[in-house]
Amino acid sequence: MEKIDFIKPGAHVHFIGIGGISMSTLAELLIKKGYRISGSDMNPSELTGHLTSLGATINIGQRAENITGDIDLAVMTAAIHEDNPELMAVRKNNIPLMTRAQLLGQIMKLYKYPAAIAGAHGKTTVTSMVSELLINAEKDPTLSIGGFLPSIGSNFRLGNSEYFVTEACEYTNSFLEFFPGIEIILNIEADHLDFFKDLDDIRSSFRRFAALLPVDGTLIINGEIDNPEYITQDVTGRIITFGLKGDFDYTAGDITFEDGHPSFDLYKNGQKQERFTLGVFGEHNVYNALALIAFADSLEIDRGITQKTLAAFGGTQRRFELKGKKDGFTVVDDYAHHPTEIRATLSTALALPYNRVFCVFQPHTFTRTKAFMDDFANALALCDNVILAPIYPARETDDLGISSHTLAQCIISKGRNALCLDSFSEIENFLKKNLSQGDLLITMGAGDVYKIGENVLS
C-alpha cells in the first residue's frame, strides 16, 4: 500500500479531540503508516492511553501552546468550536487543516474497495459484520469501526489489502466527504435535529451520499425506506435492495426465533436460497444480515463463509452486550439512544425468558430528547420497570427547559410507571434493593450509563 499522498511521508499530524473513537482510529492508522502523531482531549481515557503506548504525544486539555511549529497538518472533530484555542492557533499559524471526515475521505482514495455503511441505526453492527466477513474470507481489510469489536480487540484494524471499511455518519454531513466504492444504506430516520432542519433535510443528505458512488460502484439499500427512488435517482452504479416487506432483491422468509436468535430462509430475486441462523438477537438484525449477504454476494464471497460469519457474530461492545450475571440476575448494556433503537432493543429483551426486565435509560442530548419526547415515552412504555438517569448533554450546554423528569412525566401520562433519579448512586442503590433472581437489567444510552450496570455487578 502506498503512503498517504496528501501530506509528506512521516509528517507530524495533530488531532484536536483525539480521544473519540473515530478520531483515535484514524490516529492509530496514521501511526502504523509511519506518521508522527500528537493530539489533545479534555479527559484521559483508555483510547488516549492506547495511543500513548503506540508513541503518540497526548495532551490533556486543549491549549494554544499544544500547537507547535513542526505540525504539518491538523485534524479536528465536528464538535470543535471556532473559539477552541488550538483551532485558533492552527488558523493563526496557517497550518493545513482537515476535518476528521475529510481525512477519512482522503484515506479511502487509497483503496480499490472502499466500503461505507450508513443509516440512522445499525451502522456499527453492520460495519462489524462486514469486518468479520472480510477477515473470514481472508481479504485482510483495513477497518474503522464505531465500536469495540471483540474479535480484533479494537475498533481499528490495519490490513495490507485493497479492502477498506468504515462507518459513514450523516451528522454535519460528514459522510459527504467520503469516496466510497460500495455503500450500504440501512435506514433513514429523523435524528441529529440540532444540525438538520427536518427529515427532508436528512433525506437530501442521504441522496447526495448515494450520488457519491462512481459508475462502477454498488449501492445496497433498504427498500423499505420511504420513497427510495428519491435517494437513488442520481446513482449511476448498481443498486441492490433488501427488506422484509416487499419485492426486493434480497429478502427473508420463514423467520423463527430460538432464545431470541433469528433463523430465516434467504430469497434472492424471489428464489429460495440457503437458511441462515444469527448469533445476535432480534428481528432488526435480520435486516442487517440481509444487507451483509448482499454485500458478500457483490464481492463474490462464498455463501458458506457468509453463513458461518453470521452464526458466529455475537455483536459489538455496547450492542446488547452481556456485562455479567450476579445473584441470579443478568446485566446487559446497549447503545440505543433513539426511539426506534429503544423499541427494537426492548422488544428483543421482552421476548427472552426473564421474569422482569428493568431498563435504566440515559437520554442523550437535550435537543434529541425534546424533539422525540413523545416517541421516547412510547418506546420506553414497552417496559414495566423504567428508571431514568439525568440527560447526558454531550456537546450541548442549553437544557432547553427539559430534564429526565420531563420524560418521566410523559411516560406516566401514558399510564405507565417511570422513576427518575438524580444520580447514578441513587439508581444503583435502587437496583440493588429491587433486582432478584431471573431478572434482566438493561442499561441503555449513548453516554456513560453502562457504568451503572458495572457497579451493580461489582
The band of 5, judged by pLDDT with boundaries at 50, 70 and 90, is: low
Residue 325 exposed, middle or buried by CB count within 10 Å (0-12, 13-18, 19+): exposed
From CA 92, how far away is CA 80, in angstroms rounded? 16
How far does CA 249 lie from the centroid of its chain? 26
Residue limits of CATH 3.90.190.20 in the chain: 321-457
> pLDDT at residue 246 above 80?
yes
Over the range 365-399, which residues count as b (16 or more CB within 10 Å of their CB) and which as e?
Answer: bbbbbbbbbebbbbbbbbbebbbbbbbbbeeeeee
Nearest to 241 by CA among 200, 298, 203, 191: 298
Query: Measured between alpha carbons, how far is 385 from 117 in angstroms, rounded to an integer?
Result: 34
pLDDT band at 3, cuts 50/70/90? very low
pLDDT of 187 > 80? The answer is yes
**Tens-digit pLDDT profile for residues 39-63:** 999 889 988 999 999 999 999 999 9
Crossing angle for the helix pair 123-136 and 284-298, to the nearest 10 degrees: 40
CATH number for the domain formed by residue range(s) 12-99: 3.40.50.720
pLDDT at residue 338 greater than cutoff 80: yes
Q: Given a cut of 90, is residue 35 above it in pLDDT?
A: yes
Residue 395 above 90 pLDDT?
A: no
**Which residue blocks in 313-392 are alpha helix, DSSP H?**
339-350, 366-371, 373-380
- Mean pLDDT, to the nearest integer, of 147-153? 83
Q: Which residues contact 90 (CB under 8 A, 6 or more apart)?
A: 14, 16, 67, 71, 74, 76, 97
Residue type, 367: T
CA–centroid distance for 324 within its chain: 23
Alpha-carbon distance values, 256 to 261, 271, 394 (Å): 8, 19, 39
Query: What integer is the mean pLDDT of 86-98?
Result: 95
36-41 and 12-16: which strand pairing?
Answer: parallel
* pTM of this structure: 0.79
The angle that helices 339-350 and 373-380 make with each other, rounded to 10 degrees, is 0
Res. 434: pLDDT tops 60: yes
Nearest to 129 by CA among 399, 315, 384, 323: 315
Predicted confidence at residue 1, as pLDDT, reads 36
- Would you put residue 17 in left (φ > 0), alpha (ψ -120 to 50) or beta? left
CB 55 within 8 A of CB 31: yes
CATH number for region 321-457: 3.90.190.20
pLDDT at position 4, please?
A: 54
210, pLDDT greater than 50: yes
| pLDDT the model gives residue 29 | 86
**With 50 as the cut, is the pLDDT of residue 206 above it?**
yes
Q: Where in the chain is the domain with CATH 3.40.50.720?
A: 12-99
Q: How many degrees, rounded to 5, is the angle at CA 278 between CA 277 and CA 281?
A: 135
Q: Return the higher-pLDDT residue of 47 and 4.
A: 47
Give yes or no for residue 415 having a pLDDT over 80.
Answer: yes
pLDDT of res. 289: 98
Neighbours of 81 (CB within 10 A): 8
Instruction: Write out the residue limits of the CATH 3.40.1190.10 domain(s) in the chain.
Output: 109-312
Residues 6+ apart with CB under 8 A from 46: none
With cell 437513488, the residue in question is 232
Residue 320 pLDDT more than 80? no
What backbone phi and psi angles, to 5 degrees, belong to 182? -130, 130
* pLDDT band for position 168 (cuts 50, 70, 90): very high
What's the CATH number for 109-312? 3.40.1190.10
What DSSP element (H or E) covers 307?
Answer: helix 303-312
% of the chain residues with pLDDT over 90: 71
Q: What contacts 423, CB < 8 A, 6 or more positions away? A: 390
Cβ neighbourhood burial of 402 (10 Å; 0-12, 13-18, 19+): middle
pLDDT, tens digit, 9 for 90 and up, residues 441-452 = 999 998 899 999
Query: Within a 10 A sphere around the Cβ of 428, how many other Cβ atoms?
Result: 18
CA atoms within 13 A on the CB side of 337: 24
